[in-house]
Amino acid sequence: MQAFNDKEFLPASALTRITEIRVADPECTLRVARTRKRRRTLTPDGRLNILAADHPARRVTKVGDDPVGMADRHAYLARIVRVLQSETVDGVMATIDVLEDLLILHHLLLEAGGTALLDDRLLIASLNRGGLAGAVWEMDDPVTGASHATCAAMNLDGAKLLLRICDEEAGSLDTLLYCSRAITEMNAVGLPTFLEPLPVVKNDGGYRVVKTAEALAKIVGVASALGDSSRCLWLKLPYCENYEAVARATTLPILLLGGESVGDATPLLREIAAGLAAGSNVRGALIGRNVLFPGAEDPLVVAQAAGSIIHHNWTVERALDAQGTWRGRDMKAMAGYFA
């Protein structure tokens, strides 16, 4: 299998054009955001397959043995765009700088006579990235990204918040308050919030997520009650054994998360299928690294496989069997617009 080539898929000239527009026309992103075609409903079929692309903003850049694999914005953008070529992907959740890069690319493609990159796709802003990985204040994670007012002004489709709770860290209480306030503010502008509540414990100088049904069910109860209303709230949770107990802890819709890239998406696809079967309120996935950096595999293949399981009720085996039909599809589509 040939490795996905970021620079062949998205030429360096595309990044040059993005920077040129940032310098010459900084209001471009706001205009494009306000005029892009939004979908009428959040989810036409009740399920979602969203790409997560907010890791570098929290100083999480490691991919495999490369400590800065996700720090390369060219590679990162190329893989995001590749995933967005999948018709089974509903949209992307990212920090505002990444969303603005994508909005400029959307503009450049339309200007060149190409297909709109972001029409009918969800754009979800990642709000709190201040809890930098490895920092002494890591559990104190304030909103350092876009505000609720910005999300509304830019015609975005929602916001995402990370809530890690460590009983040994007082900063987790502050993060609870930040998240509660942000949920209330998003409700005020009529936009959904995707909340990722994670129970963590200290582990070798860092933090480890406790992926047990008991720990997750307990934190679901806390997360579901945050803010002035849960009417627009979705939860993002990891898979674990006995996931039925986690799903039964709330009536809120749940999206599965992925975790660190392991180079083989098969276990992830099996977790998605098992999670969807665990409860009627498990409604899809919000996954990043395992889709963007699936070893030598084409990111489109993993995105299509996950989306087919989520939206078309495919079995994992059927999705795996279809990989060859997606691999390398439309690989040169972007290059033609940035020659």
Per-residue pLDDT for the chain (339 aa), expressed as one digit of tens each? 557 899 999 999 999 999 999 999 999 999 999 999 999 999 999 999 999 999 999 999 998 888 999 999 999 999 999 999 999 999 999 999 999 999 999 999 999 999 999 999 999 999 999 999 999 999 999 999 999 999 999 999 999 999 999 999 999 999 999 999 999 999 999 999 999 999 999 988 889 999 999 999 999 999 999 999 999 999 999 999 999 999 999 999 999 998 777 778 899 999 999 999 999 999 999 999 999 999 889 999 999 999 999 999 999 999 999 999 999 898 888 888 887
| The two three-digit tokens of residue 200, written as one number | 């963590």
With beta carbons less than 8 A apart as the criterion, state whether 320 and 305 touch.
yes
| The two three-digit tokens of residue 209, written as one number | 């997520």
* Class in CATH terms, 6-329: alpha beta
Distance of CA 159 to the CA centre of its chain: 10
Torsions phi, psi of 203, nearest 5?
-155, 105
Residue 28 is predicted with a pLDDT of 97
Residue 1 is predicted with a pLDDT of 52
**Domain spans in the chain, listed from the N-terminal domain onward:** 6-329
With beta carbons less than 8 A apart as the criterion, state whether 158 and 193 touch.
yes
With beta carbons less than 8 A apart as the criterion, state whether 124 and 33 touch.
no
Residue 93 is predicted with a pLDDT of 98
